[in-house]
Amino acid sequence: MEEKKESGFGFKLFKFLLAVLVPILFLLLLTLLFLKLAGLDPIEEAKRLVFGQGSPATMQTGNGTSGSGSQIAALKQKIAVQNSTIKRLQSDSSKKSDQISQLNSDLKQAQAAAKQQTNASKNQASAGRQAVYAQTYKNMDPEKAAAIFEKLPTRKAAMYINMMDNKTKAQILENMTAGKAAALTPLLQASQKNSTSSQNNPSLAGTVTTTGNQ
């Protein structure tokens, strides 16, 4: 009887242990399966639980902080590169502005030189014409020259007469009509070459004045 009681108690104990252990094993297996599916190491997770090590969330937070620090450093480096590029572009722009200013200055100087050369050429051509006119009318008979100037407009005649020396002017005016000579007299200019000789020869000035008053 005692053996039967002991065997019945042992069987009941075995059934109780099975009823308790089977669900625990089942839950443990499910937990291990979920950890595997989540990509976690069950052994490492068990160590963390037993020894109180940092949780995955804490480690992820640490990794996130480290990642943010590297991103900030990368952004700072990118900003430094952009600032360097901006400074280089500003320097290039300043150099180009200086070059443009220098080119404009060179262009103005070239234009001024060309204008000066053109004016010199015009003056030289004008002086050449004056020399030709003066020599031509000087070599011409004063009476014939006077007849030509009689037909020219007063201002143009005065322009041509002023190209000649004072002596030639007086000879032409002597052979002109009194009206034409009077109109030309206010427009006459003293010749630079013969102004001194005219001052030293009062008879020449008197001749022009007498002719103008005729």
Asked if 154 and 181 sit in the same domain, the reply is yes
Q: Are residues 144 and 170 in the same domain?
A: yes
Q: Which residues, 6 or more positions from 164, have their beta carbon under 8 angstroms from its beta carbon?
A: 133, 134, 137, 138, 172, 191
Distance in angstroms (rounded) separating the CA atoms of residues 12 and 185: 160
In a domain, 170, yes or no: yes
Query: What pLDDT shows up at residue 204?
Result: 37
The DSSP symbol for 175 reads T
Among candidate residues 167, 170, 176, the one with its CA nearest the CA of residue 149? 176
In a domain, 66, yes or no: no
Q: Are residues 115 and 146 in the same domain?
A: no
CB atoms within 10 A of CB 40: 13
Q: What pLDDT does 130 receive?
A: 75
Inside any domain, residue 62? no
Residues 148 and 109 in one domain: no
Token reading at 138: 């000087």
- Please indicate, yes or no, if residue 18 is contained in any of the structural domains: no
1 in any annotated domain = no
Q: Please tell me the predicted confidence (pLDDT) of residue 68.
A: 76
Indicate whether 170 pLDDT > 70.
yes
Q: Indicate the number of domains in the chain.
A: 2
Domain residue limits at 173: 140-212
Residue where a domain stops, chosen among 128, 158, 192: 128
From residue 37, give the alpha-carbon distance in Å to each of 42, 59, 190. Answer: 11, 19, 120
The last residue of one of the domains, among 71, 104, 128, is 128
What percent of the chain is modeled with pLDDT above 70? 74
Q: Is residue 190 part of a domain?
A: yes
CA dist., res. 133 & res. 73, Å (int): 89
Inform me whether the pLDDT recorded for 62 exceeds 80: no
Mean pLDDT of 114-126: 83
Residue 25 buriedness (CB in 10 A; 0-12 / 13-18 / 19+)? exposed
Residues 119 and 164 in one domain: no
Per-chain mean pLDDT for the chain: 76
Q: Would 200 be classed as within a structural domain?
A: yes
Domain ends where: 107, 128, 149?
128
Going by C-beta distance under 8 Å and a sequence separation of 6 or more, which residues neighbour residue 82?
none
Range 156-185 average pLDDT: 89
The stretch 63-87 carries a mean pLDDT of: 82
Q: Are 124 and 152 members of one domain? A: no
Residue 152 φ/ψ region, left for φ over 0, alpha for ψ in the -120 to 50 degree band, beta for the rest: beta
User: What integer pLDDT is reported at residue 210 of this predicted model?
Assistant: 37
What average pLDDT does the segment 161-184 reach? 89
CA–CA dist 138, 151 (Å, integer):
18
Is 123 among the domain residues?
Answer: yes
Looking at the structure, tell me whether residues 147 and 176 fall in a common domain.
yes
